[in-house]
Structure formats: C-alpha cells, structure tokens
Amino acid sequence: MEQADILALPGATWEAGYLEDTSVRRLVVEVYDREHVAIQRYVAFLGIDTETSQEIVQDTFLKLHEHLLRGGDRGNLRAWLYKVAHNLSRNSQLAFRSSKTDALPDNAGSELRAQALSVEDELVASERVQILRRAMNQLSPAQRECLVLRTQGLKYREIAEITNLSISTVGEHVQRGLEKLKELI
C-alpha cells in the first residue's frame, strides 16, 4: 500500500486507533516502570535463572500490551501480570524439566548487600540473607510462593488467582509459612 492509499483511509478511524495504541503503550511503560523489578524478583524466587527471568518479564509485558490492545480488562493489572509471569515461569520449568523451585537463587539478597554501609554491615546482611534463605528453603513450595507474593503486596484474593488456589488455602499457606519462619529464625 502506498502512502497516498494510507492517507486516503478514513482519518478518524486511523487517528482513534493510533491514539488508542499510543495510550496503551504509555500505560504499559508506566506499569513496567512500576512493576518490572518486583516481577523479576518474584520469578527469581520461583527458581528461574537470571537470564530466563529477564525473558519472562519481557514476555509478560508483551502479553500485557497485546491484552490491552485487544481491549482486555484493566481492572487489576498487577495481579494479571503476576499470573502471566507465574504461568510463563511454570511453562519454562516444564519445558526444561526443571525443579529449581526447591531452593532460592543465590542472588536473592543482593539488594540487601548493595545497601550495606561497611564491611561489618555487609557481613551481617549476608548472614541474615543466608538464615532467611535456609528458613525459606524449609517451607513447602506453596508456602514459599504465597509468602513471596504476599511480600510483593498482593492480597490473598490476587494470590489465589495467580496460584489457582482457594483464598482460604492461600491464607493457610501464608499463616503456616510465617509460623514456621518464626520458629526457624
């Protein structure tokens, strides 16, 4: 199609579609800026390596863009993103026959270490991360996943939607996980 043919298209329709696409892009960028670090952290806690987790985060936001362009529900995009990231992570693990969800990744506490003010602070932070990692590894995968999602600020209802569990089961996993962590730490 030549430029003259494109210009001959009804302007209102083209402009409305263009403006809608632009607003969707703006929304995706806005949500990306706000959520991508937390989602990548969540994917890492599911046991996905750094490179794959970055790809999963990119795929998650690509799916968000497609979802919004199709006129999908904008009601709770945060929970929607976690659900998509959760499913992509599980698909990735199944594709590679991986069972990495039983252990936390080695870089899970890197943000704590980056904030350390001195060598002593860094040592204390490192020890805390190791204690937390050992304690988290003693939780069931479901307890660990529910706790990680809860620390991301998601509500039980949202966690239930993401993990395909009932709300009461999510509450039970969070409660029992916290109790066990208190015992272990």
Percentage, residues of the chain above pLDDT 70: 77
**pLDDT-derived band of residue 3, with 50, 70 and 90 as boundaries?**
very low
* Domain extents in the chain: 11-102
Rounded CA separation 131/13 (Å):
59
Confidence band of 119 (pLDDT split at 50, 70, 90): confident
Segment 25-64, tens digit of pLDDT: 899 999 999 999 999 999 888 888 889 999 999 999 999 9
Scored b (16 or more CB within 10 A) or e, 52-86 reads: bbeebbeebbebbbebbeeeeeeeebbbbbbbbbb
Residue 106's pLDDT is: 55
Mean pLDDT of the chain: 79
142 vs 113: CA distance, rounded Å: 27
Architecture per CATH, 11-102? Orthogonal Bundle (1.10)
CA 67 from centroid of its chain's CA atoms? 17
Q: Is the pLDDT of residue 13 over 80?
A: no
Listed ranges 9-13, 83-87, 111-115; the one with the highest mean pLDDT: 83-87
Q: Please tell me the predicted confidence (pLDDT) of residue 67.
A: 92
> What pLDDT score was predicted for residue 173?
94
pTM of this prediction?
0.62
Per the listing, tokens 């929304």 go with 27
